[in-house]
Chain A
Amino acid sequence: MTLRGCAPGTHARIRRITTDAPDRLRLAELGFVRGALVRVVGRGATGGLLLALGDARVAVDDETAQALQIERIERIEEHGHHRQSGRHVQVAAVSRD
């Protein structure tokens, strides 16, 4: 399912993002990545959704909401901590060269 049409108060985990590459990167930079947890705060007067992404609030239009494929979840756990879904990302510590 997609985020479009989700009611305020919905909690969701992002599974996939289906926009074009430049928009996808822009969304990713704001934190819309696979596994990220979002909450629908409200719906705009002429459409679009107001989303909570951790501490940030981001307004998106209907087309963008449509491109965010999600699964509903009960509630965002503390910290809005996200899980990587089936991906291997190794994180190296910060080091001096």
Chain B
Amino acid sequence: MGNWPGKTVRVARGTWRPGHGAPVGLVDLPGTYSLVPRSPDEELTRELLTDRGAEGRPDLVVVTVDAANLARNLYLLAEVLGTGVRCVVALTMTDVARARGIRVDEAALARELKVPVVPVVPRRRQGLDELADAVREQLLDDRPPCRLHLDVAGDEEDDPGLAAAEARYAWVHEVLAVVRTQRSGAGPTVSDRVDRVLTSRWFGIPVFLAAMWGVFTATTTLAKPLQDGLGGFVGGPVADAASGALSGAPVWLRGLVVDGLIGGVGQLLTFVPLMVIMFVLLALLEDSGYMARAAFVVDRLMRRLGLPGRAFLPIIVGFGCNVPALAGLRILGNRRQRLLVGMIIPYVSCSARLTVYVLFASVFFGSTAGTVVFAMYLLSVLLVVGIGMLLRRTLFRELRGEALVLELPPYRLPTLRVVGTQTWQKLAGFLRTAAGVIVATVTAVWLLSAIPLGAASGTSFGEAPVEHSVFGAMSRAAAPAFAPAGFDDWHTAAALGTGFVAKEAVVATVAQTYSADEPDSPDHAGELGTRLHETFARSSGGHPLPAVLAFLVFLLAYTPCMATLAAQWQEMGGRLTLLSTGIQLTIAWLLAVAVFQIGRLWW
């Protein structure tokens, strides 16, 4: 057991029939180093084994013990045996240990511990029957289970916990002396030699950057054609087929199904390749053992920013898309750290926002457009660091200055089964949470923009121009809120409204509200550019440039999209997601107002 990324942090329950015996309820406890908890996951293990007393705890605990890392694993076992719960030891990694010249005498171990010890190789499904037999036998045994007593003659300067820890290690080393033999001395292993290169001063950072470049490229460039293909398939053949099937149905029903529901499903599906790639990469990095090294390599840099070492990965991925970045939070072992990083990810400027920056920057700033786009990215990094600091001084005070003590698992080849299972489980989790939210929001926005209002109330449902729909009216009502930021206009408010659903849709909405064609290339906005100039000149009272900058800043800092909200909801729960959204809107508005009010003094 260990607590490096990828270990169980959620509790799985099930039923098991050990060797055709009576069925037993099974609880997969979160991995832990000790029964003194440091995170809610570890607390659960402690609660089940000790706090509930003899009645409330499980009838039997199967403790997996890593033969290649015996000392630390026996330490936890000493704690478990100390509670007096009935135990069976599953001895794993005997093959890895043997490859390193380490032999563990299972019979001697069982004699020392006075509990059954069964060697298992889960990857090859070996030893599982024997384990089942041992469990069944132990459950039928009505003698009281063994209990390990360690007498601690603590000295006065120690706290009792520490003295007990030392006593347990003293016991562990006595057991080791009997059960473990090593052919050669404790010299450097293959992993050690690899580590001397991969974490070294010269290669550590370049290898890290190369790995991150790979992850970033895969979640952007590699995912793009797959996303476009899926989106095109749903928006094209599937939508056409549905349209055809509903040709006899009323216009509103066809619109609802084709533009609302199928549009929503299409949007959801475009995230699937992205998520699959992200989850496969995560599993590969974790299972190979490199993730822990990467955290070690960048620990100091991240610490300067006040963030945990492993937070680099979700943040880097976030520049591609925030949704897989939030899913990547699972690499952070500590739940509070996950929440902290989960609240700052939305400020990482994703690639969907880039399309909007490019359109507006090239319309308004011409040859300096590149600088404006770069400034947006710079601001994004500043926001990540700044908001991170703000949160750590307020909601997350206890997270400051945690020491890095990180166990590094040995390098190994990732297995297809582990990578496949993890990817599927995480993808299924994402779809369960996100599907409803995304489809419902896309449908709701379609409905709002389809219901005619005011001047257009004579027109039938779904045929009025956006301006004369409920959505248009809502945009008009919301627009004055942006007056202090210089963009009090229904077109921009509508764009921000759809931007709440998906930033990819912002450019399309802008074009739609002006009844102009969506520009083929954002660099050549054509007529749309002229109309935008007019709008911003009017709404800003003659200071269009600061108003556009304010608009872009707002776009950067407010809620990225519905899918991000859904992913946040899954990772952090509803309350914090709403709080986080509230903070985003407040900060976005304040920053936009500041940019406009200060900017118009010059321009």
Contact = CB atoms under 8 A, between A and B. Distances in A.
A pairs with B? yes
Interface of A: 8, 19, 21, 23-31, 33-34, 36, 39, 41-48, 50, 52-64, 75-76, 78-82, 84, 87-92, 94-97
Interface in B124-147: 143-147
Contact of A29 (B75, B100, B177, B403): B75
A8 B196 contact: yes
Q: Which 4 A-B pairs have the closest CB atoms?
A: A45-B204, A28-B165, A46-B300, A61-B404
Interface stretch (B182-190, B346-354, B470-478, B493-501): B182-190
B405 A27 contact: yes
Contacts of A23: 403, 405
Contacts of A25: 36, 159, 161-162, 165
Interface in B165-209: 165-167, 169-171, 173-174, 176-177, 180, 182, 185-186, 188, 191-192, 195-196, 199-201, 203-205, 208
25 contacts: A26-B38, A30-B407, A41-B192, A42-B199, A44-B300, A45-B201, A45-B204, A48-B296, A54-B69, A56-B72, A60-B404, A60-B405, A60-B406, A61-B300, A61-B405, A64-B405, A79-B180, A81-B176, A81-B177, A87-B155, A92-B149, A94-B113, A97-B84, A97-B146, A97-B147
Contacts of A90: 150-151, 153
Contacts of B169: 28, 31, 33, 36, 82
Given A58-B405, A82-B169, A91-B150, A44 B199 contact: yes
B81 interface: yes
B34 interface: yes
B204 A75 contact: no
Contacts of B201: 43, 45
A59 B161 CA distance: 23
A96 B147 contact: yes
B150 A84 contact: no
A63 B165 CA distance: 22
Given A25-B162, A33-B166, A47 B71 contact: no
A60 B295 CA distance: 11
B230 interface: no
Interface in B25-78: 33-34, 36, 38, 68-72, 75
A56 B299 contact: no
Nearest to B203: A45
Given A55-B69, A94-B113, A47 B165 contact: no
